[in-house]
Amino acid sequence: MHIKGNTIYTWYRDVLSQFAQEGGQSVHANDVEFIARQGKEVIEVPIFKEDNFGEKMTIDEKLIGEDYYTIMCNRETGKIAMAGKSVTFSEIEKIFQKHSSVTGVVKSITRDLSSLYEKVCTNIFSKSVQVADKFHVIRNLMEAHQSIRIRYRQKEFEKRRTALKEFKATEQQRLQECERLGKDFKPNKFHYKEERYKNGETALELLARSRYLLFKFNHQWTEKQKKRAKVLFELYPEIEHAYDHSCQFRDFLSNKNIGMGYLQTDQLLHDWYEKVEESQIDEMLNFKSLVESHQGFIINYFIEGETNALAEGINSKIQQFSSSNQGTRDRDFFFFRLANYYS
């Protein structure tokens, strides 16, 4: 129809939607003002719907524009209950002091492993059971495992760098010798010879292409991945040990163990701790330490198998919403529409 997109956007905002009639005031209705050392400050709370708070909630952070927001969703209805422009405990506490009635409603809350949301759940939602999100735990596990592969890849790059340094030193000696003898100097081209293994790949290629097979269980590998994994594990036994520990932990945190008693899960977890201790792989020891510090919240997953998947889904929807609606430059209208769609 030969109408500019910005024109349609303006018509929609100022005429077709109710934003102009309401003046966008509802977006700032729940903002929290407080007195700080620098004077009066305001915490923006573009969405706060008390009716959307229920027994099962999720809490997570989301980058919107250039600012981080704390977002709480109802796991049963899928609706956003709160979106506040803050990732500090004192400010989040001030938001819920204004709406203290909702804190007693929540019976369970899923979250990531950040110390911020642990403090929020412990101090503000003290009556709720905290569940460490399974997918955040697994993500930390895979990052630990992949970092071992990356470490070995960097060592291979270091070998290449050392060979280049030696080549340059040799060329410099040749240049000086040619100048002393009055001969023409013809520079040689650097060539780094790499060994090719059984599957036809060099060490660098092998380490780069093994990234995705390490995310899978071995029964999910293709024939090519099986050959690659065999060569990889022969060359780097440490990666194989870490892969075994990774698969064991993922099997422990699988759906089949939901409903298992606390003593059984605790015993399985301590058996895994012992195996990791025996391997003495730094990256896996770091992950083990993370699990130990959140052990009680991780084991709570086995009560009902609760996860933060809904919060991650909302984050994804917000991202898609932002991408398809001219971003978040008009922040008030963005949250006005977000509230209408998702809360």
User: Higher model confidence: residue 297 or residue 315?
Assistant: 297
Q: What is the CATH number of the domain that holds 77?
A: 3.30.420.10
The reply to whether 66 falls in a domain is yes
> Looking at residue 326, what is its pLDDT?
63
Residues 124 and 142 in one domain: no
Residues 277 and 332 in one domain: no
Residues 146 and 223 in one domain: yes
Q: Residue 49 — φ and ψ, nearest 5°?
A: -120, 105
The reply to whether 121 falls in a domain is yes
Least confident of 82-91, 125-134, 173-182, 311-320: 311-320
Least confident of 27-31, 54-58, 97-101: 27-31
Residues 143 and 264 in one domain: yes
Residues 263 and 233 in one domain: yes
The reply to whether 253 falls in a domain is yes
- What share of the chain has pLDDT > 70, as a percent? 97
Residues 278 and 142 in one domain: yes
User: Higher model confidence: residue 328 or residue 53?
Assistant: 53
Residues 101 and 210 in one domain: no
| Residue closest to 105 by CA, chosen among 80, 85, 124, 118 | 124
Other Cβ atoms within 10 Å of 252 Cβ, number: 17
Q: Are 145 and 242 in contact (CB under 8 A)?
A: yes
Per-residue pLDDT for 135 more than 80? yes
Q: Are 235 and 210 in contact (CB under 8 A)?
A: no
| Residue closest to 262 by CA, chosen among 289, 293, 295, 307 | 295
3-state secondary structure 111-128: ECCCHHHHHHHHHCCCCC
> Looking at residue 25, what is its pLDDT?
60
Residues 147 and 259 in one domain: yes
Residues 231 and 263 in one domain: yes
Residue range 225-243: mean pLDDT, rounded: 95
> Looking at residue 131, what is its pLDDT?
93
> Looking at residue 106, what is its pLDDT?
93
Model's pTM, two decimal places? Answer: 0.84
Q: Are 135 and 312 in contact (CB under 8 A)?
A: yes
Per-residue pLDDT for 23 more than 60? no
The reply to whether 242 falls in a domain is yes
Per-residue pLDDT for 154 more than 90? yes
The reply to whether 163 falls in a domain is no
Element (H, E) at 170: helix 134-181
> Looking at residue 22, what is its pLDDT?
62
Sequence-ordered strand ranges (E) for the chain: 32-36, 39-43, 47-48, 56-64, 67-74, 80-84, 108-111, 129-132
Residues 244 and 141 in one domain: yes
- What share of the chain has pLDDT > 90, as a percent? 59
Q: Which domain holds residue 249?
A: 136-152+201-304
Task: Give the span between the Cα atoms of 231 and 44, in whole angstroms.
Answer: 55
Per-residue pLDDT for 227 more than 60? yes
Residues 148 and 261 in one domain: yes
> Looking at residue 16, what is its pLDDT?
80
Per-residue pLDDT for 72 more than 80? yes
Q: What is the dihedral of CA 163, 168, 173, 176, to 10 degrees?
A: 170
Residues 298 and 223 in one domain: yes
The reply to whether 24 falls in a domain is no
Q: How confident is the model at residue 158 (pLDDT cuts 50, 70, 90)?
A: very high
The reply to whether 110 falls in a domain is yes
User: Higher model confidence: residue 104 or residue 333?
Assistant: 104
Per-residue pLDDT for 295 more than 90? yes
Per-residue pLDDT for 175 more than 60? yes
Q: How confident is the model at residue 283 (pLDDT cuts 50, 70, 90)?
A: very high
Q: Give residue for tokens 């070995």.
A: 152
| Residue closest to 124 by CA, chosen among 157, 82, 160, 77 | 82
The reply to whether 258 falls in a domain is yes
Number of domains into which the chain is organized: 2
Element (H, E) at 134: helix 134-181
Q: Are 104 and 74 in contact (CB under 8 A)?
A: no
User: Higher model confidence: residue 286 or residue 324?
Assistant: 286
